[in-house]
Amino acid sequence: MGTSEYSQVAPLTLVEVARLAAPYRDQPDQLMRVVLDVEKVVPVFSPQVTAVIAREMNLSQTEVYSFISFYERLYTGERGKYIIHMCQSAPCHIRGAKEVLAAIEEFLEIKIGETTEDGLFTLAYAPCIGACDVAPAIMINDRVFGNLTPESVRDVLKSFIREEVSGWRR
């Protein structure tokens, strides 16, 4: 993505993060609540963001970072506009998820945990996306795509790229 998202956290955004975290000072059991609220206003849990959460909740920055980095769906680094979660469940595995994943990696030229150079896609694992009836499946942001083959997953990705290109020209 070129410029790091870390340097792009606006001061007003940090003020909003502080506002969301402050009511839970000395309540470490409320960290998940704060993290889920903060996730709605920041694209990434940068060191600046985790420092504000830690300060306002009276926690160490290491505690906050460790908590956030434990969860696969929370991001501490740059992420794409579209997050592709590849289901790792047994039904998906049995029905060809390995081949679908290989097609995604080849088409986008990234591996699990990476983001495309244009910043559009990030590829990540998910333990289960709850779509076993249409395995193998992926979730792109909040949309599930199932009964995938290497060919059909390429078509899905192309549709997102076409949408970006047509939206850009408007």
Give domain status of residue 75, yes or no.
Answer: no
CATH code of the domain covering residue 117: 3.40.30.10
The reported pLDDT for the residue numbered 72 is 59
At 70 the pLDDT is 75
Note whether 86 and 165 are same-domain residues. Answer: yes
Report how far residue 8's alpha carbon sits from residue 14's, in angstroms, rounded to the nearest whole number: 11
36 vs 53: CA distance, rounded Å: 12
Does residue 77 sit within a domain?
no
| pLDDT value at residue 167 | 73
Q: What is the pLDDT along the chain (170 residues), one digit of tens a residue?
A: 333 444 467 899 999 999 999 999 999 999 999 998 998 888 778 889 999 999 999 999 999 988 887 775 666 667 788 989 999 899 999 999 999 999 999 999 999 888 899 989 988 888 888 899 999 999 998 899 999 999 999 999 999 999 888 876 54
Burial of 57 (0-12, 13-18, 19+ CB in 10 A): buried
Q: Could you tell me if 91 and 155 lie in one domain?
A: yes
Domain membership of residue 50 as a residue range: 5-70
